[in-house]
Structure 1
Amino acid sequence: MRYVDAFNHFFPKRLWEKLESSPGAGQDIGKRMRGIPAIFDLDERFRVMDLFSQHDYSQILSLGMPPLESLGTPEEVLELAKLGNDGMAELVQKYPDRFAGYIASLPMNGPDLAVREAERAFTQAGANGLQIHTNVNGAPLDEERFFPIFEMAAKHNKPVLLHPSRGANMPDYKTEDKSKYEIWWTFGWPYETSTAMARLVFSGFMDRLPNLKVLAHHLGAMVPYFEGRVGPGWDQLGKRTSDEDYSVVLKNLKKRPADYFKDFYADTAVFGSRPATICGLEYYGADKVLFASDSPFDPERGPGYIRDTIAILESLDLTPENRDKINFRNAEKLFGLTPKN
């Protein structure tokens, strides 16, 4: 059985060396990234991937955290993005059986530069999509200055992959200065992704770009589990708000809110949770879910989430057609990959 891993993370050599030598960036990548060799060491990456050679396993590469836009001025981040995108393109070209494609990163803190880099990545560097974090240094994605970036993705029929971004500096309670116990990650990241999805919907971005394809990392985050709130709950938008007239928002949308959320794509990167996988598949259906592992952030620093996710999918009662869609055919279609014979 073929598996194309749609969302996992790696730093190409020149970008990794640049980040390590930069005082601010070097601190941001921190001890966790340095402690996971498979995210920057190609030999270790291959060793992990070889554990799944019997599955005809390959990857669509994207950068790991932190968001590049948090590491400098727009011009400085553009340099980092180019190092990352060109490095990824080189890996895909050199090792096509290992890396089926890659997702470009952008200097999102400079939207005009980001648009130009997205077009360069698509037309000259063979990018298969864009990785955009759920906020840009704290700013929401539905600000008008970011619209041309999504427009560029739609123009080239390439997907946008939403990756959550939130840190301990976002407190859990108003009375506190920071989030405790890594709540900012465990619950904060799914909230971030769900919020970004909602802002794309209610802002009208999805109506303005009907061909835009957006994949929400971690199986659509909170949305499948909260289907009742997203559906019948948001059908009553405005009933709970007295200082603003939200009924106008519903009137301006071309569909009911729940229908837009069904238009998103999602991936199976849920850290080895079978119940979450079943819930997400039930919500999105086999046409909208792509196999992904989020490697190498498991406790084993590489193989764990790949192995667990494959085992979960193989345990499910899926038709051969739907199994193929989830495992590799949806990735081929969404990323514009050349199908294998």
Structure 2
Amino acid sequence: MIHVKIDAFCHLLPRAYADRFFAIDDAPALRNLQNRTRNIPALVDLDVRFRQMDEFGDYRQIINVAAPPLEDFGPPGRCAEFARLGNESLAGLVRDHPDRFAGFCAAVSLNDVDRALDEVDYAFGELGALGVQIYSHVDGHPLDEPRFDPFWERLAASGKLIQVHPNRTAAWPDYPSESRSRFEIWWTFGWEYDLSAFMARMVFSGVLERWPELKFLIHHGGAMVPHFAGRVGPGWDQLGARTPESEKADVEGYPLTKRPLDYFKMFYADTACFGAEDALRTSIRFFGADRVLFASDSPYDPEKGPGFIRATIRNLTDLDLTDDERAAIYHGNVTRLTDLGVRA
């Protein structure tokens, strides 16, 4: 059976946004990712991107603005300007190319929560965004700080999707004795730790207890959580049981009404496992086929576009799934979560 495919986590740099982004030279935090994105034509060149997409038949993308996070761009005013430019540009691409782009998730800068709320209202109400893309921390601050509560409340009430992207640079060392991460460990392992830590903070701070309606889509197959289910489950069932009295404050959180494991299963995950079939199988088993969304992380594969799409489709073909489960992963789940009209 041929399935409609909606790629739920794809990155893009609209032309006007890209021109301004690459011109910034006074924000050191941007330099690494400016360099990592500069030579990927499909991020900006739609002709290249569309030729790549043609390989996959009835295939469309939900797009967002590629990393780095807006908070790295400089003063809050500039960050807000880039959010507006990015969102209006993404909305224009969806409007002009509905056969290519099923929708977009809005960019927000959370270094100013009030401005972020205004941008969310504009993106949802005026531009038709399907959700937002956020990062796993804001300038090094966890997203369970009380100042972010109005954001979670607004997103819960909206019913919109929340794409969660990792965020770390080489400035985060691998060991306390060092000042820089080496060998891109910050990316290969660090980004997955960032996502997993974000999930844990959403659980133990009570964000999901207070706002169970939140629809968090965790990038990269749900990161580390599915692969360490024994530690997340029976391990965290013992939280605090072995903690010295002098360190009890480290494990005190919001009163939870369920096992920690049950909250972790409330997240959604995508299929962006870069062709690692066993990893994808584990993610689907942990979250369930009804909470996994097809996504490729395009265009960051070695081919700079189609490679991870092709590999993910191959994985989903080879895995022992029913046809209904494949249909749910390819388009059914994202349709349900975003009220997106999809021709099946």
Q: TM-score range by the shorter chain?
A: over 0.9
Structure 2 counterpart of 1:278: 281
Q: CA deviation at 1:43?
A: 1.2
For 1:36, which of 30, 34, 40 is the aligned residue? 40
Q: CA deviation at 1:248?
A: 8.0
TM-score with structure 2 setting the length: 0.95
Structure 2 counterpart of 1:260: 263
Residues 108-187 of structure 1 mapped to structure 2, 5 A cutoff: 108-187=110-189
Q: Determine what percentage of the aligned residue pairs are the same residue.
A: 50
Q: CA deviation at 1:337?
A: 0.4
Structure 2 counterpart of 1:318: 321
Render the CA deviation track for 1:216-246: whole Å, top value 9, x for unaligned: 1111100001000000100110123212336
TM-score with structure 1 setting the length: 0.96
For 1:49, which of 42, 50, 53 is the aligned residue? 53
**2:4 touches 2:343 (CA, 8 Å); kept in 1?**
no
Q: Is 1:9–2:11 an aligned residue pair?
A: yes
SS at match of 1:139: coil
CA separation of 1:236 and 1:82: change in aligned 2, threshold 3 A: same
Q: Is 1:308–2:323 an aligned residue pair?
A: no
**1:223 touches 1:230 (CA, 8 Å); kept in 2?**
yes
SS at match of 1:51: helix
Render the CA deviation track for 1:22-62: whole Å, top value 9, x for unaligned: 22367454222111010111111111111212xx0100001
Q: Name which of structure 1's ranges 320-329 and 12-21 shifts more when overlaid on structure 2.
A: 12-21
Amino acid at match of 2:117: V
**1:191 touches 1:222 (CA, 8 Å); kept in 2?**
yes
| Distance in 1 between residues matched to 2:125 and 2:46, nearest whole Å | 26
- Residue-pair matches, total: 339
Render the CA deviation track for 1:267-309: whole Å, top value 9, x for unaligned: 0001110010111111111100000000000000001000000
Give the unaligned 5+ runs of structure 1: none
Render the CA deviation track for 1:53-73: whole Å, top value 9, x for unaligned: 2xx010000111111111111
CA separation of 1:64 and 1:247: change in aligned 2, threshold 3 A: closer
Residues 17-28 of structure 1 mapped to structure 2, 5 A cutoff: 17-24=19-26, 27=31
| Distance in 2 between residues matched to 1:112 and 1:183, nearest whole Å | 35
**2:7 touches 2:60 (CA, 8 Å); kept in 1?**
yes
| Distance in 1 between residues matched to 2:9 and 2:132, nearest whole Å | 12
Q: CA deviation at 1:144?
A: 0.9
CA separation of 1:194 and 1:245: change in aligned 2, threshold 3 A: same
Q: Any runs of at least 4 consecutive aligned residues in structure 1 with deviations exceeding 6 A, and if so which? A: none
Structure 1 counterpart of 2:190: 188
RMSD (CA atoms)? 1.5
| Distance in 1 between residues matched to 2:24 and 2:117, nearest whole Å | 25
